[in-house]
Amino acid sequence: MNEHEILDRLAALEIETPSWGYGNSGTRFHVYPWPGAARDAFERIADAALVHRLTGCCPSVAVHIPWDAVDDYTALGRFAHEQGVRIGAVNPNLFGDDAYRLGSVCNPDAAVREKAIAHCLECIGIAEEVGSTIISLWLADGTSYPGQDDLRDRHARLVESLERVYADLPDGMRLLLEYKFFEPAFYSTDLPDWGTAALVCRRLGPKAQVLVDTGHHPQGTNIEQIVALLLADGLLGGFHFNNRKYADDDLIVGAIDPFELFRIMCEIARAGDGGIALMIDQSHNIEGKIDAMIQSVSNIQTAYAKALLVDRKRLAEAQQEGDVLGAHRILVEAFETDVRPLLAALRERLGVEADPVEAFRRGGYAERLAGERGTTSVESAYESA
């Protein structure tokens, strides 16, 4: 690929940001309020729009319902549009309600399952209203003790419930199923891994695809291989970027392991553009929200630029010849390339500043937002919504 083609591919990269990344969040120990953090759905969308203005590549924002619930979704969609962004994935929240103690769509109580299904159907309606084509589902369902519930029955309830949701999807809308191996359940999780998610998607049909989140795997998992296999089977619907050291830490993308991010982007780059909903799913507990988000965007672009630089022809030859070290060196050569000039050229083309994090920091945005919104104390991670 020549530099022009690489720039075209880079310019086509779109990264969604999550509304919940702009509000206060914390650990289960404490939430430290951030001055100027967004307080409602409109402010969260406004912050996402600011990230888009500074980066030129984040034109959509994911919403979580009911965290982002409003009376008038058409107005919310219009507000996003006026701000220069659109509403992306609609995420039904199936864990933030007392009824879900034993699960949502897998709950042994049929009435709770009905409630969960009804919420998903409501979210499909919201997605239609705001012009979104993605319902993104992560379940907190699982059990914490052996014997607590029947594992096969739970799986059957899962499929049965999701079949109802799937049947309601209008043409052009996709259902993304996000798996996670543990937490909040600690013994079994109903959608624990990509294989289970893929099996369920196969049962549902072509509008259901798997969503991979970096932090949702056991230590040492080869995430890029999962991405590669799902792509090969047309089953990768979305990817949530973040970074982790221990579990689902939701740290700034590429902060801990930029080489892993590069390896994942190599698979995404190989697949070509389009089709995969790429989103940042991180939460900021001790750092500012907006510059952390921009840093993540920038780290993804860096990794993608390096991935596009991989000399695929030479790599394929080395692989074919069985040149183990040679092939490895070709990959690492791309990773070690300084892509800052390339990104500067990209940003010039996108009409944004060469260093968007610096542009945010120097632009007085944080001070203005802190002045307008003040500092809101919150009691728990999700009460900011």
Q: Which two tokens stand for residue 59?
A: 């034109």
Nearest residue (CB) to ligand RM4, 104 versus 309 = 104
- Cα–Cα distance between 139 and 158 in angstroms, integer? 10
Indicate the angle between helix axes 258-271 and 290-309, nearest 10 degrees: 60
Nearest residue (CB) to ligand RM4, 215 versus 356 = 215
Among 97, 122, 168, 248, binds ligand RM4 (CB under 6 A): 248
How near is the Cβ of 177 to ligand RM4 at its closest, in Å?
A: 11
Q: Which two tokens stand for residue 194?
A: 């990509």
How near is the Cβ of 227 to ligand RM4 at its closest, in Å?
A: 16
- Considering CB under 5 A, how many residues would be counted as binding Mn ion? 4
- Cα–Cα distance between 65 and 50 in angstroms, integer? 22
Binding of ligand RM4 by 178 (CB under 6 A): yes
- Cα–Cα distance between 78 and 251 in angstroms, integer? 31
Contacts of 218 (CB under 8 A, 6+ apart): 181
3-state secondary structure 70-94: CCCHHHHHHHHHHHCCEEEEEEECC
Contacts of 60 (CB under 8 A, 6+ apart): 14, 16, 17, 85, 86, 87, 88
Residue with tokens 């390096």: 306
Binding of ligand RM4 by 141 (CB under 6 A): no
Nearest residue (CB) to ligand RM4, 181 versus 335 = 181
Among 22, 73, 138, 239, binds ligand RM4 (CB under 6 A): 138
Residue 195, Cβ neighbours under 10 Å: how many?
12
Binding of Mn ion by 240 (CB under 5 A): yes
Binding of ligand RM4 by 249 (CB under 6 A): no
Nearest residue (CB) to ligand RM4, 227 versus 315 = 227
How near is the Cβ of 335 to ligand RM4 at its closest, in Å?
A: 27
Nearest residue (CB) to ligand RM4, 84 versus 184 = 184
Name which of residues 328 to 347 contact ligand RM4 (CB under 6 A).
none
Per-residue CA distances from 282 to 20, 56, 275, 297, 372 (Å): 9, 20, 22, 11, 24
Q: First vs last Cα of the chain: how many Å apart?
A: 45
Among 43, 193, 213, 267, binds ligand RM4 (CB under 6 A): 213
Binding of ligand RM4 by 281 (CB under 6 A): yes
Binding of ligand RM4 by 68 (CB under 6 A): no
Cβ-closest residue to ligand RM4?
138
Binding of Mn ion by 213 (CB under 5 A): yes
Contact residues toward ligand RM4 (CB under 6 A) are: 20, 64, 91, 138, 178, 180, 213, 240, 248, 281
Contact residues toward Mn ion (CB under 5 A) are: 213, 240, 248, 281
